[in-house]
Amino acid sequence: MLGIMLQKMWHKKWMNLSLLLGCILLVATAVSFPLYQSAAYNRMLTDEFDHYLSNEGVWPAQLTLQVSTKKEKDGKTITTMENYIPTIYRDLGVQERDTIYLYTITGGAVHSEYERNDANDLSARLGYKSKLEDHINIVNGRMYSDTGLSDDGAIEVIISQKCMTKQGYLVEETMAFNALKTFEGKTMRYKIVGVFEPKSPGDLYWKNDKESEYDDLCLMNPELFRNSFMGEKSVKFSIVCRYTAMFEYENIKATDVERLQKSVDYYAHTGSYRNVIDEPPILEVLNEYTNKHSRISATLTILQIPVLIMLAAFLLMISGQMYEMERNEISVIKSRGSSRLQIFLLYLYQGLTLTGLGILGGVPLGMQLAKLLGSTRNFLIFDLSEQLKVSFDQRALMYVLAAAGTGLLCLTLPAIKHSKVSIVNLKQQKALNKKRLWEILFLDVVCIGISAYGYYSFQRSSADMTETVLNNKAMDPLLYLSSSLMIVGLGLLFLRLQPILLKLIYTIGKFFWRPAPFIAFMENVKNGRKQQLIMLFLIMTVSLGMYHSTVARTIVENAIRNTDYADGCDLRVKEVWTEIVDRNGARTGTYIEPDPSKYVTAPFIESYTKVYRLKDIEMEGGSNGKLTVNLLGIHTKEYGEMTWVDKKLNGKAYYELLNELAVVENGVLVSANFRDKLGFKQGDSVTYKRQNGGSATGVIVDFFDYWPGYAAEITQQQPDGTMSNDPNYTVIAHFEYVKSKLGDVPYEVMAKLKEGTTDEQIYEWKEANDMRLTTYVNRNDDLEEAQTDPLLQGTNGVLTLGFVVTLILCGVGYLIYWIMALKERELVFGVLRASGFHKGEVFHMLFLEQIFCGGLSILAGFGIGKLTSGLFVPIIQKVYASATQLLPMELITDSSDLTRLMLVIAVMMLFCFLVLTLMTFRMNVAKALKLGEE
């Protein structure tokens, strides 16, 4: 049996190779989705941890426990704790990073042994911290000695710089406790031998302690501490023990999250240590992750639906071709006396071999595919430096098995079906070119109808959508389904119309067609339905490709533009200004301006400008009434040089508005909603005043709809979950005019940065100038954040993956289809060539057939893709738009996407065409004619 099978497979090696390729692709694409998703979730989780770490400066994956022992003789609590802490790692299933112990005792009042008057009311705590020596620099004096005791028996301690200044200690000073005695009964004394500072400011070692921990703590030799206060022969104290168990988060997997969340939550809120555990930061991280995950997982799953549909269609097509190809084969085997079971087994073994090889080849390929997609930056744009760690898990295994199972079914189905059919009714069946079920059911019209309904209902409920977005809910699956149905429906409609169109063209030149086009037309007219599946495939590849690229581009590009607009410029900072108080402590309303020279000297600032940004300004004009507005005071030239608004937003160039303002000293630009509300016009006078401050008059020079960072409405979510829209009225005036009329109030600085400015540069500059900021907006950071949003990235990844998969399936499917179709028509080609059909004519005929089938489908795909994008992308985009979407949404298509799509498809078609032409040219005519001998 095995021999027969291998022989049979070798005999049809071309077809079997195609089938094998099909199996490999099937498994690879099916497995790439779960692999990519779980890898993307893992990365998102790690990002979440990283994010917490860089924002809070605290190691996120840690538990901190603090217990105080009573003055117990056996030190049982400490022994228990010290045994307990290491078990946490095992219990949580995580890898230890570092465990830090901090033990302190409150010693009590102390006095200096120096004759000093200024060090009277002092009290001190003694303690030790594990691995201290690795995390400090001694800035003055020295480290405590190995014994921990000085020559005169005092305990050697080191203190922080803050402690030094706060307590007024002196280095080499020896202090004595007023009341405390050693175990031997002597007065307990300690000597300040050194002052330390943390080795690096960001060192996580220090980040779990209370802010004032080291203000009065004298750190001593650990061994001496344990002997003096914990050992058997020691003074009994109440000891505060602080344990920090830090563990690695890099290898925490997304699949661990739920379990970890439960365990940590148990520790912190339920377990016996709940009262001694600090609220673990990891919970915040995990909760944040879970929120995001639930928001994006549904969306990502929905996005992959069309690709799964394509996969199914691919299988259907392959098995359909198998069905055609194997008909003769099976009836021949059967007529030679094989039983149905034997036939079935033959095909089953063949199927098992193919799917088995498919798994072997498909899984590694799928992993590579997923890895590649992990580096998606934008649609079809990869940043290969960013690798995704892909690992095979249970869910992936399920996908593999499902794919392989379906594949196997497709490969054996023809045997099951055909083993009942004898050669007689076979020939009758072959003649039929029946209407397909979908044509009879008008499935195309149904699909279009449903999607049209979906479109209109989503159009109407766009306000609800905003609410959904703000509530972090996932996209409504129906929305995406509607657009997919639209594509399928229009595709089917095209399939219905295509034969009519061809028949029309054929009829026009009915009698004049030369042999090649004649055969091509007739082939399509008679056997066109066989091609419908591959045509639908092409249509869907192209239209989904266009649609998905538009979705991806639009959401990313709009996110970028919105951030660009909302931030207004590269850098915005506002320092804390100190208000001058008078002798009685009352506020004066005048402030001390922080030194502005740092903006001039900062090496990365190209230019900067001062801007007043004032709230709660009352503005009125004549009898029109008054409103509370926001006021912006700008230097028109400087401001205009670093900000920008698209001309089409205001219907007027941005610089024109600035110029209009520039020439009128007391001129104001007013937001259009202010005009609409109170009915002002250009040239009207207004007065505006600050609460408890000066007032000014202005002349309206013009109105604007859009201004950098300005939104006409501020959308906010109320506590009850509903949305509120508050109008935002804004007035723009000259900086100097505002300063002279309303008083010198704190201003904001907007800066244009030099190319290549890094975050570190800005950070160092802030630190060096000891700046305290109330506003800090860094556009590069915000842009980076907008683009690395996991939903955005995941969407791009899945859409790109979907597109790549569809493209591969389509290419391979197309090739397999045509190779099989050609094999089926080999005899006809033989007859044609024998009767004197030229090679050029064969080429011509094949070319036309490709155009009728492939070319028209691709054209239809472009049309359908464009139409669907135009209709649905604006709705889908809302799902991704942030709550702070200020700009009107714009549909973005990048012509390079289209070019890339065209290029890939052109290469695919060309390759197919080449293979087909080669196959026909190399065909031995005489041999082909003998094929029908049996």
Partner 1 sequence: MGNIIEVLDVSRTFPVPGGEFQALKHINAAIPESSFVILKGRSGSGKTTLLNIICTLDKPTGGTVRIDGEDVSKLSDYKKEELRRKKMGFVFQSVSLIPSLNAFQNVEFSMRMAGIKPGKERDKRVEECLRLVGLGNRMTHMPAEMSGGEQQRVAIARALAHRPKMILADEPTAELDSAMAARVASLFAEMSKKEGISILMTTHDVGLMGAADYLIELANGERVSESE
Q: Which stretch binds partner 1 (CB under 8 A): 80-88, 483-491, 801-809, 828-836?
A: 828-836
Kindly tell me which of 236 and 825 has the beta carbon lying closer to partner 1: 825
Kindly tell me which of 78 and 520 has the beta carbon lying closer to partner 1: 520
The DSSP secondary-structure symbol of 712 reads: S
CB of 849 to partner 1, least distance (A): 11
**What's the half-sphere exposure (Cβ side, CA atoms, 13 Å) at 6?**
3
CB of 869 to partner 1, least distance (A): 38
Kindly tell me which of 514 and 772 has the beta carbon lying closer to partner 1: 514
**Bridging pattern class, strands 239-247 and 723-727:** unpaired
Q: Which stretch binds partner 1 (CB under 8 A): 148-156, 232-240, 658-666, 832-840?
A: 832-840
Q: Does 828 bind partner 1 (CB under 8 A)?
A: yes
Positions in 58-87 near partner 1 (CB under 8 A):
none
892 φ, ψ (degrees, to nearest 5): -110, 125
Kindly tell me which of 182 and 917 has the beta carbon lying closer to partner 1: 917
Q: Which stretch binds partner 1 (CB under 8 A): 77-85, 171-179, 218-226, 424-432?
A: 424-432
Ranges of H-type helices in 681-789: 735-742, 759-768, 779-787
Site string for partner 1, 513-552 (x = CB under 8 A): xxx--xx--xx-xxx-------------------------
> What tokens were used for 457?
């209902």
Nearest CA among 651, 657, 664, 665 for reference residue 730:
657
Nearest CA among 812, 694, 777 for reference residue 25:
812
Q: Which stretch binds partner 1 (CB under 8 A): 471-479, 627-635, 827-835, 911-919?
A: 827-835
Q: Are 161 and 130 in contact (CB under 8 A)?
A: no
**Residue for token pair 């993956």:** 801
Q: Does 932 bind partner 1 (CB under 8 A)?
A: yes
User: Quick one: angle between helices 305-335 and 423-430, nearest 10?
Assistant: 140
Q: Which stretch binds partner 1 (CB under 8 A): 187-195, 458-466, 814-822, 925-933?
A: 925-933
Kindly tell me which of 142 and 927 has the beta carbon lying closer to partner 1: 927
Q: Give CA–CA dist 782/788, Å, rounded.
A: 10
- Binding residue for partner 1 (CB under 8 A) from 832, 846, 892, 905? 832
- Binding residue for partner 1 (CB under 8 A) from 1, 2, 424, 431? 431
Q: Give CA–CA dist 466/730, Å, rounded.
A: 24
Beta bridge partners of 695: 689
Q: Give CA–CA dist 380/796, Å, rounded.
A: 8
Kindly tell me which of 10 and 511 has the beta carbon lying closer to partner 1: 511
The DSSP secondary-structure symbol of 279 reads: P
CB of 820 to partner 1, least distance (A): 16
Ranges of H-type helices in 266-393: 281-303, 305-335, 340-374
CA distances for 731 relative to 624, 630, 661, angstroms = 16, 6, 11
- Binding residue for partner 1 (CB under 8 A) from 109, 397, 497, 834? 834
CA 271 to chain centre: 36
Q: Which stretch binds partner 1 (CB under 8 A): 235-243, 460-468, 512-520, 767-775?
A: 512-520
Biggest distance spanned by C-alpha atoms of the chain: 125
Kindly tell me which of 431 and 600 has the beta carbon lying closer to partner 1: 431
Kindly tell me which of 344 and 518 has the beta carbon lying closer to partner 1: 518
> What tokens were used for 630?
């926001």
Q: Which stretch binds partner 1 (CB under 8 A): 274-282, 386-394, 428-436, 498-506?
A: 428-436
CB of 417 to partner 1, least distance (A): 20
Kindly tell me which of 516 and 860 has the beta carbon lying closer to partner 1: 516
Q: Which stretch binds partner 1 (CB under 8 A): 389-397, 464-472, 581-589, 835-843?
A: 835-843
Beta bridge partners of 751: 571, 608
Coil, helix or strand at residue 636: helix
**What's the half-sphere exposure (Cβ side, CA atoms, 13 Å) at 224?**
20
Kindly tell me which of 10 and 512 has the beta carbon lying closer to partner 1: 512
Q: Does 923 bind partner 1 (CB under 8 A)?
A: no
Nearest CA among 219, 239, 205, 100 for reference residue 163:
219
Kindly tell me which of 474 and 525 has the beta carbon lying closer to partner 1: 525
Kindly tell me which of 522 and 773 has the beta carbon lying closer to partner 1: 522
Q: Give CA–CA dist 190/220, Å, rounded.
A: 9
CB of 415 to partner 1, least distance (A): 24
Tell me the DSSP string of 75-127: -HHHHHHHHHHHHHHHHHT--EEEEEEEEEEEEEEEEESS--SS--SEEEEEE
Kindly tell me which of 435 and 583 has the beta carbon lying closer to partner 1: 435
Q: Give CA–CA dist 922/10, Å, rounded.
A: 20
Kindly tell me which of 529 and 866 has the beta carbon lying closer to partner 1: 529
Q: Are 671 and 729 in contact (CB under 8 A)?
A: yes
CB of 515 to partner 1, least distance (A): 5
Q: Give CA–CA dist 208/195, Å, rounded.
A: 21
Q: Does 10 bind partner 1 (CB under 8 A)?
A: no
**Residue for token pair 């109008």:** 727
> What tokens were used for 391?
């690992």
- Residues touching partner 1, count (CB under 8 A): 31
**Bridging pattern class, strands 667-671 and 695-704:** parallel
- Binding residue for partner 1 (CB under 8 A) from 74, 184, 511, 720? 511
- Binding residue for partner 1 (CB under 8 A) from 831, 867, 891, 919? 831
- Binding residue for partner 1 (CB under 8 A) from 259, 262, 427, 648? 427
Neighbours of 840 (CB within 10 A): 9
- Binding residue for partner 1 (CB under 8 A) from 13, 262, 430, 647? 430
CB of 421 to partner 1, least distance (A): 16
Kindly tell me which of 553 and 844 has the beta carbon lying closer to partner 1: 844
103 φ, ψ (degrees, to nearest 5): -115, 135
Q: Does 426 bind partner 1 (CB under 8 A)?
A: no
Q: Which stretch binds partner 1 (CB under 8 A): 236-244, 295-303, 450-458, 823-831?
A: 823-831
Q: Which stretch binds partner 1 (CB under 8 A): 20-28, 358-366, 426-434, 623-631?
A: 426-434
CB of 933 to partner 1, least distance (A): 7
Tell whether the torsion through CA atoms of 345, 348, 354 and 356 is positive or negative: negative
CB of 528 to partner 1, least distance (A): 10
Q: Which stretch binds partner 1 (CB under 8 A): 297-305, 678-686, 788-796, 833-841?
A: 833-841
- β strands within 182-318, DSSP E: 187-198, 217-220, 239-247
Nearest CA among 570, 566, 590 for reference residue 580:
590
CB of 835 to partner 1, least distance (A): 6
Q: Which are the contacts of 169, defined by CB distance < 8 A and separation ≥ 6?
A: 119, 159, 163, 175, 192
Q: Which are the contacts of 109, defined by CB distance < 8 A and separation ≥ 6?
A: 121, 122, 123, 177, 178, 179
- Binding residue for partner 1 (CB under 8 A) from 838, 884, 914, 921? 838
Coil, helix or strand at residue 44: helix
Kindly tell me which of 517 and 802 has the beta carbon lying closer to partner 1: 517
CB of 503 to partner 1, least distance (A): 13
Q: Which stretch binds partner 1 (CB under 8 A): 365-373, 509-517, 729-737, 880-888?
A: 509-517
Residues that bind partner 1 (CB under 8 A): 427-428, 430-431, 511-515, 518-519, 522-523, 525-527, 827-828, 831-832, 834-839, 925-926, 929, 932-933
